[in-house]
Amino acid sequence: MQYATSVNIKAPLDRVWAVLTDVTKWPQWTESVTSVEHTGDLRLGSEVTLKQPRLARAIWRVTELDPGRSFVWVSKSPGVTTTAGHYLTPQGDGTVDVRFTITQSGPLAPLIALFARNLTRRYVDMEAYGLKRRCETS
């Protein structure tokens, strides 16, 4: 399963990056995350534990990081690996295009997709539009 969505945010790049990477505050701006366990700055190798409604607690490990531009993290569970990317592209008009991607792979990925495809897509969309609201109103 693969899914991607993008939003255009009317805010400076550094503001969007700061909000996006302050993962402990995600429950304040997206209903797709109920709790986060993490300390310190988000960096390569960081592990973040997320609890999402209707899903098991998951540990996400940052596997790629381009400060101010993107990060990718991976969560592994028996039979499925989930990779989520977060990409910021500044536009010439003072806005930032933010692209969220999610890919599930592994022997159980087709089964997980069958049951959770709509939920996964809804959560990715909630994160994108929650980030937009947070950055444009705060």
- CATH classification of the domain holding 61: 3.30.530.20
Q: What pLDDT was estimated at residue 40?
A: 87
Query: Does the reported pTM lie above 0.85?
Result: yes
Its domain, for residue 102, covers 2-137
pLDDT for 138 beyond 80? no
Per DSSP, the three-state class of 70 is strand
Mean pLDDT of the chain: 95
Is residue 116 pLDDT above 80, yes or no?
Answer: yes
Q: Is it the case that residue 1 has pLDDT exceeding 90?
A: no
Partnered with residue 66 across adjacent β-strands are 70
Question: How many domains does the chain contain in total?
Answer: 1
Q: What is the pLDDT of residue 80?
A: 95
**Is it the case that residue 114 has pLDDT exceeding 90?**
no
Size of the chain in residues:
138
Mean pLDDT for 78-97 is: 95
Is 74's pLDDT higher than 90?
A: yes
Per-residue pLDDT band at 124 (split at 50, 70, 90): very high
Q: Are 88 and 69 in contact (CB under 8 A)?
A: yes
Q: How far is CA 129 from CA 57, 78, 106, 114, in A?
A: 23, 30, 29, 25
